[in-house]
Amino acid sequence: MIQVGTILKVCDKTGVSLVKCIKVLGPLKKKIGYIGDIILVSVKHINSKKFIKMKLFKRKRFFKGTIHRGLIVRSKKNYRRSNNVYINFSENAVVLINKKKVPISNRIYGPILTELCKKLPSLGCIAKNMI
């Protein structure tokens, strides 16, 4: 359950480590986001020591306070599969995407659900660990 104001980890190679949820995109009355939903996020913390030489910072794309779209990949709330198996993770995590629903980075860290890989094939190509 991701609400407005939730702090999330970023599990891709963009150089951003923490983001804050601004809005859950979807129908007008939707207030809570679950795994597979798209949200608007604001950058809160950057790993500038590791990624200062990367081309991503030369393009001035990821700085503190910039707004991006994110896809919820992991949440602490239980996720129920169709065969009545519940899966939960120890952290809330998001992957930064563009308007065409393609991940910005070329690598994703940590496990990803197979349902997400079927929903977005571009995400499945990058992810290594699928549950």
Higher pLDDT, 19 or 63: 19
> Would you say 70 and 38 are in contact if contact means Cβ atoms under 8 Å apart?
yes
Beta strands in 4-126 (DSSP E): 7-10, 16-24, 38-46, 67-74, 79-80, 86-87, 93-97, 108-112
* pLDDT at 122 (0 to 100): 85
Distance CA 77, CA 34 (A): 8
Residues 9-30: tens digit of each pLDDT: 999 888 899 999 999 998 888 8
Q: In Å, what is the CA distance from 129 to each residue of 24, 62, 122?
A: 26, 26, 14
CA triplet 43, 49, 52: central angle to 5 degrees?
A: 80
pLDDT of residue 4: 94
- Going from the N-terminus, what domains does the chain have, and what CATH number goes with each? 7-106 (2.40.150.20)
Backbone angles phi, psi at 58, to 5 degrees: -70, -25
pTM over 0.75: yes
Q: How would residue 121 be classed by pLDDT, with cut points 50, 70 and 90? A: confident
Instruction: Give the pLDDT of residue 51.
Output: 56
8 A C-beta contact, residue 75 and residue 9: no
